[in-house]
Amino acid sequence: MAIQQILFILLLLIVGFFSYKFYSRIFRTIHLGKEETITGNKGERWKNVMLVAFGQKKMFKNFIPAILHLFIYVAFLFTQIELIEIIIDGIFGVHRFFADKISILYPIIINTIEWLSLLAFIATVIFLARRNLLKIPRFRKPEMKGWPTLDANYILIGEILLIIGIFSMNSADGLLQNMDPAHFPDTGHLMISSVIGSAFLADLSQSTLMVIERFGWWLHILVVFSFLLYLPISKHLHIILAFPNVYFNKLEARGKIGNMPEIMNEVKSMMGLIPESEMAVDANAELPDFGVKDVFDLSWKNILDAHTCTECGRCTAVCPANQTGKKLSPRKILMDIRDRATEVELNISSGSQQKESYDDGKSLFDYISDEEIFACTTCNACVEACPVLINPLEPIIELRRYKLLTESAGPSDWLSMFNALENSGSVWQMPDQRFDWAKELNDSE
């Protein structure tokens, strides 16, 4: 067994081990949330997966970025074919495993990968320019300073390195096929790499070409391995989580606000819709906590939403509160939930806290201010804008419920409105009950 083969297998095992650890941590983090049973037609769910997650349907509301993203996305999918071959070659110590097994299909596949890689390279350069030179507003929001911007740039640079690896490997390999056909199987004519090889590599010796070919091969696989290990701390985790997130998306009306059974029954009782005798009330029972204070009060689907967030900012760009200068950014809310959930899971994993009695003196309100959650108009724009069917409105509503119903806190004008509603059935502070005027009508009759 060659040294290169041993090194590859060892590296593959190490990456596999750490990937299992890192992705298991993501799974545990998501399941810090409460259980939530999501029902609905499975056929409809799979249709959403094919159209939205796989087909990128909602991306095309912004056509030009969608086309550029599509180049990268499709190139990523097709490149997995070549990646499978690289892994087989690395494990078994062979070269171009599929070349003589799928005959004429091989050059078609590799040429397709090369053309898509070229388009992906162009798209990547444009995306780097958009983020760093054009200063598009949704990429310049306060929550995008520091790591989020670096994260996006790291991935784009990684894309360029992957493409360099592919063309270095294929260009040198094409020339080596003529020099040493016994060890370098015929791949057929590769349109782009043959041009690169003729222009830049034609005068190099066989040994130099072998170094370049191996450089491209190792660069490609090392970037892929690095990408696998990097994903759990990156917004690009959405390339994996978008599929389950779309599948488990609620099929009811988007942005529908769920009621609270305890309050609904109380209101029904007050309106005489439920006889008081049927309202079992324990005078000694503690009042329940309403809404959400920390990640344990969210559902696992809310935390999955937060980890699926692409940080594209489409939700924040259409948010009327954000557009008028208020602090609310739906993207930031999701990023804060993800960061808090990650912090909690790390504390539990380290043994410094137990899930059942977790208390580090912090909550989601250490990340998210009252000003943010009370600025939301519940217009549903953020829900409609998300390309992977995330619902930022749901955690915002639940955080607001905790403040209003559990802590009796909120904007002063809101509290006076609620008191007026409770006392007279009107949002205005009036001395008479709202429907007293109707009694006069009955008396006149």
- In this predicted model, what pLDDT tens digit does every residue of 180-201 receive, in sequence order? 998 999 999 999 999 999 999 9
For residue 441, the tally of other CB atoms under 10 A from its CB is 8
Q: Which tens digits make up the pLDDT trace of 54-76?
A: 999 999 988 999 999 999 999 99
For residue 424, the tally of other CB atoms under 10 A from its CB is 17
3-class DSSP state for residue 391?
Answer: coil
3-class DSSP state for residue 110?
Answer: helix
> How far is Cα 429 from Cα 226, in angstroms, rounded to an integer?
62
pLDDT at 254: 78
Q: Which residues contact 382 (CB under 8 A, 6 or more apart)?
A: 315, 316, 318, 319, 330, 392, 393
Domain residue spans of the chain:
62-237, 420-445
pLDDT at 428: 76
E strand or H helix at 395: helix 393-401
pLDDT at 259: 83
Q: Which residues of the chain have pLDDT under 70?
A: 1, 270, 275-287, 430-435, 437, 442-445
* CA dihedral (101, 103, 109, 110) positive or negative: positive
pLDDT at 415: 79
AA identity, residue 43: G
Ranges of H-type helices in 197-299 = 206-230, 238-247, 261-270
Are 404 and 373 in contact, with CB atoms under 8 Å apart? no
pLDDT at 425: 72
Are 344 and 295 in contact, with CB atoms under 8 Å apart? yes
Match 């009107």 to its residue by tokens: 426
> How far is Cα 197 from Cα 201, in angstroms, rounded to an integer?
5
> How far is Cα 110 from Cα 99, in angstroms, rounded to an integer?
10
User: What's the chain's length in residues?
Assistant: 445
> How far is Cα 341 from Cα 359, in angstroms, rounded to an integer?
13
> How far is Cα 379 from Cα 16, in angstroms, rounded to an integer?
44
* Predicted structure pTM score: 0.89
Nearest 5°: the CA angle 88, 92, 98 is 45
Burial of 76 (0-12, 13-18, 19+ CB in 10 A): middle
pLDDT at 47: 96
Q: Which residues contact 137 (CB under 8 A, 6 or more apart)?
A: 317
Nearest 5°: the CA angle 362, 368, 374 is 130
pLDDT at 287: 64
Whose CA is closest to 75, among 185, 220, 243? 220
> How far is Cα 337 from Cα 236, in angstroms, rounded to an integer?
16
Are 334 and 306 in contact, with CB atoms under 8 Å apart? yes
Are 123 and 76 in contact, with CB atoms under 8 Å apart? no
